[in-house]
């Protein structure tokens, strides 16, 4: 008789140190993720679900599966399992205050505005950016203002693009912005969605940050918050430097509360507030596209 997965104990699958190291090498090579030995129990608990879903008996067999050329979707399931898409509207409010008070007024004088939400998860961050811009610059939806929102996980990009959220998430949106830029979804659930003006500002796409980027910038601001925490220091410093190159002079980089910019990027960036950096005058920027 076959025992159902739910009846098995916590060590349902054999998971050796060699298995962990092989997964860690793959995660580093494919996605830039840094998996320390201390994360072995977490990796086991999260990936055991994938073994059950694929009806695989051993982690070694799962590694063989990930190596197949036609299993790109499973590799994305891997990254989704190993990372946490925790987000909310107007998370780390000080960044949006800087956007509102320091950046948006200057952007209103420009003919072209570009902002990047790198690691947009299910969309709360780019929609928060859009609502802030629309509140300060109501004509944004009719002018050359665009927000690029990217994430490596196709599932969360699909949710972000849908722009619909449960009722309880509305509590983190200021009431005046909620009234102006969202609308209720028909039905008894109390869910809401972003309105057309807000959606028009944003383009959603899948993107692996450690691979080549199919755009050139420059950006007036880049939000990349609580993404680099998954990378080792070398990968982090490479990412900060690439972001610095993508910013226009005076542009802002907003990062997560536990992150800090280090390495060569500090030649181009200077601190401008809590987990906020700004491109120094005279530092080189990407060519506008």
Active-site amino acid positions? 46, 151
Q: How far apart are the first and last CA of the chain?
A: 62
Tokens (6 digits) for 277:
């950096």
Which residues lie across from 95 on neighbouring strands? none
Q: Around 234, how many Cα atoms within 13 Å sit in the side-chain half-sphere?
A: 5
Cis peptide before 199 (omega within 30 of 0): no
Say how far apart CA 142 and CA 30 lie, in whole Å.
Answer: 39
Tokens (6 digits) for 24:
């860690």
Q: Quick one: CA torsion of 268, 273, 274, 276, rounded to 10 degrees?
A: -40
Say how far apart CA 272 and CA 261 lie, in whole Å.
Answer: 12
Tokens (6 digits) for 216:
């050139």
Phi, psi of 114, deg, nearest 5: -135, 130
Contact 228, 261 (CB under 8 A): no
The runs of H, that is alpha helices, within the chain are 17-31, 40-53, 59-66, 72-82, 93-98, 104-107, 124-136, 154-162, 175-181, 196-200, 233-246
Say how far apart CA 22 and CA 24 lie, in whole Å.
Answer: 5
Q: Which residue matches tokens 């005076």?
A: 250
- What value does the CA radius of gyration of the chain take, rounded to a whole number of Å? 21
């Amino acid at each position: 008789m076959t025992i159902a997965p739910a009846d098995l104990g916590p060590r349902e699958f054999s998971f050796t140190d060699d298995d962990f190291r092989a997964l860690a090498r793959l995660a580093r090579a494919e996605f830039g993720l840094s998996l320390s030995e201390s994360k072995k129990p977490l990796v086991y608990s999260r990936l055991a679900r994938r073994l059950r879903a694929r009806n695989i008996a051993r982690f070694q067999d799962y590694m063989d599966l990930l190596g197949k050329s036609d299993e790109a979707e499973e590799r994305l399931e891997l990254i989704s399992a190993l990372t946490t898409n925790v987000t909310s509207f107007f998370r780390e409010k000080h960044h949006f205050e800087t956007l509102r008070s320091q950046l948006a007024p200057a952007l209103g004088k420009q003919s072209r505005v570009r902002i990047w939400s790198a690691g947009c998860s299910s969309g709360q961050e780019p929609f928060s950016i859009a609502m802030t811009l629309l509140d300060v610059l109501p004509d944004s939806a009719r002018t050359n203002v665009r927000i690029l929102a990217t994430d490596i996980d196709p599932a969360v990009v699909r949710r972000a693009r849908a722009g619909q959220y449960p009722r309880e998430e509305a509590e983190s949106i200021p009431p005046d912005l909620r009234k102006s830029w969202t609308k209720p979804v028909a039905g008894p659930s109390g869910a809401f969605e972003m309105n057309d003006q807000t959606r028009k500002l944003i383009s959603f796409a899948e993107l692996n940050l450690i691979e080549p980027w199919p755009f050139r910038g420059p950006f007036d601001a880049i939000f990349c918050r609580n993404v680099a925490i998954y990378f080792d220091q070398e990968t982090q410093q490479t990412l900060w430097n690439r972001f610095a190159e993508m910013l226009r002079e005076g542009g802002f980089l907003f990062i997560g509360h536990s992150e800090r910019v280090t390495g060569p990027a500090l030649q181009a960036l200077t601190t401008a507030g809590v987990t906020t950096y700004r491109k120094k005058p005279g530092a080189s920027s990407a060519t506008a596209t």
